[in-house]
Amino acid sequence: MTERYEYVAHRLLRRRVRDVASGVEGELMAVINENVSDSARAHWMELAYIRGACGREFSTAVDNIEPAR
């Protein structure tokens, strides 16, 4: 794959989620498989983009998200 990112379908898109790493809740806006490579090796990672109550988006590892209660 030559692109630096690729959108990934996720069952929680547009739903309220919680980032277990920070405890912050918000709406899951996107899950993107991103190329986070450094100059030494190629590395792809799925990142979840969450929009918090303040309107700002932040990213976390997709494994860190769970449905909000």
The tens digit of pLDDT for each residue in 9-61 reads 999 999 999 999 999 999 999 999 998 888 788 889 999 999 999 999 999 99
Q: Are residues 37 and 43 in contact, defined by beta-carbon separation less than 8 angstroms? A: yes
Domains of the chain (ranges; CATH) run 5-67 (2.30.30)
Answer whether 10's CB lies under 8 Å from 31's CB: yes
pTM for the model:
0.86
Q: Work out the pLDDT band at 5, boundaries 50, 70, 90.
A: confident
d(CA 41, CA 18): 31
Q: What angle do CA 50, 52, 57 make, to 5 degrees?
A: 50
Higher pLDDT, 30 or 2: 30
With vertex at residue 34, the alpha carbon angle to CA 64 and CA 22, rounded to the nearest 5 degrees, is 25
What is the predicted pLDDT for the residue at 43?
86
Judge whether 21 and 47 are in contact, CB under 8 Å.
no
